[in-house]
Amino acid sequence: MQDSATISTPTQQTRSGPLAGIRIVEFAGIGPGPFASMLLADMGAEVITLTRAGQTPTGAAARGRTLVAVDLKDKAAIAGVLTLLDGADALIEGYRPGVMERLGLGPDVVMARNPKLVYGRMTGWGQSGPLAQAAGHDINYISITGALAAIGPAERPVPPLNLVGDFGGGSLYLVVGLLAALLEAGKSGKGQVVDAAMCDGATSLITMFFDMTAKGVWKESRESNMLDGGAHFYGTYECKDGGFVSLGSIEPQFYALLRQHAGLNDPQFDGQMDKKNWPELKQKLAAVFKTKSRDEWCAIMEGTDICFAPVLTMSEATKHPHMVAREVFITHEGHTQPAPAPRFSRTPSAARAPVTADLAGIAKQWGRS
């Protein structure tokens, strides 16, 4: 992979991937917007990221992008951005509602010039509603969805990193929305606004659990259900050496293998789905796993149909034989990063080095200057 300092123009990087030929303008931000843009760039889209002078993004936040420094307080720069957007297929912005309008770059202005533009808006609370103008972060956005209350031990909810709000409920829903709108625009010739709110997406992610609650098979108290740590056969266990392993032995045949390999001969384990016994069975199983190290349990269970895996740190994950064999991690810009996903058989994605360019040059390259 070339170092970004050695690349003079964006055209020196050949783009592959199913989105090659799609042009996207990203207004630099934090969290879900940059991650969504990285995914699109990995899949071949040409993503122009408009940054503030002196605030050039690095790492995954810049992967595959063409970085253009722009002063959005300057009227001439705004005119240049509008010209650039004339040649774009999509736009991504993550400001609070109303900011783009005040800059003169709102949907009404931009889409009047480019009717096919798909205008992607990434926020936590959405473009409307009582909280639309309030500050917040991932943990706040998932708090009002029911998701955070369901995650963690019985004593209290715990933050699930930024995976549920920012990236799962934010970035991925933005990408799905943009791709759907681009597909529709190709047929209708008309763009539209995609309002991607993390509180919307995170709520959508827990659809199955709302369904299970409605059917009476899910309790809202944590560690009371099969999938939230309540069951002895679905969860994590500490080993003799302090490492952890995970189990997902839900199906009877997988549970039977767990009992066989762990030596669970106690007849109390016969009642797998008897919830009243789960707390005691968890304690018994915890004592069993404490008798061996994580590596010893891996030697016994990994690769079987028990539904077992060691709980690895990020640094350990890069060395796991399965992850190595599938080349799940790459070295990019001198750092270990997850490789592009998903995989395409004919038009493969690729992680590309960021490049820098000027606004006028990109607009000319796009043929709209």
Catalytic entry in 86, 137, 195, 295:
137
What average pLDDT does the segment 154-176 reach?
97
**Mean pLDDT calculated for residue range 19-32:** 95
Buried b (16+ CB within 10 A) or exposed e, 316-327: ebbebeebeeee
Q: Which secondary structure element, helix H or strand E, spans residue 29, and what is its range?
A: none
Domains of the chain in sequence order: 4-206+330-365 (3.40.50.10540), 234-311 (3.30.1540.10)
Distance in angstroms (rounded) separating the CA atoms of residues 133 and 39: 28
Q: Does the annotation count 137 as an active-site position?
A: yes
Q: Which has the closest alpha carbon to 19: 47, 50, 40, 49?
A: 40
In the block, residue with structure tokens 């993550």:
94
Catalytic residue status for 261: no
Per-residue pLDDT, averaged over 245-258, amounts to 98
CA distance 363 to 114: 14
42, 89, 138, 166: the active-site residue:
166
The answer to whether 294 and 244 are in contact (CB under 8 A) is yes
Average model confidence (pLDDT) across the chain: 93
Confidence of residue 300 (pLDDT cuts 50, 70, 90): very high
Output the pLDDT for position 13: 54
pLDDT tens, residue by residue, 114-156: 999 999 999 999 999 999 999 999 999 999 999 999 999 999 9
Q: What is the pLDDT of residue 368?
A: 52
How far apart are the C-alpha atoms of 133 and 344, rounded to whole Å?
40
* Other beta carbons within 10 Å of 81: 26
pLDDT at 59 over 90: no
Model confidence over 191-222: pLDDT tens digits? 999 999 999 999 999 999 999 999 999 999 99
Encode pLDDT of 70-83 as tens digits.
Answer: 999 999 999 999 99
Q: Who has greater pLDDT, 11 or 345? A: 345
pLDDT of residue 8: 30
Give the closest residue to 22 by CA, choosing from 181, 192, 155: 181
| pLDDT in the model for residue 14 | 67
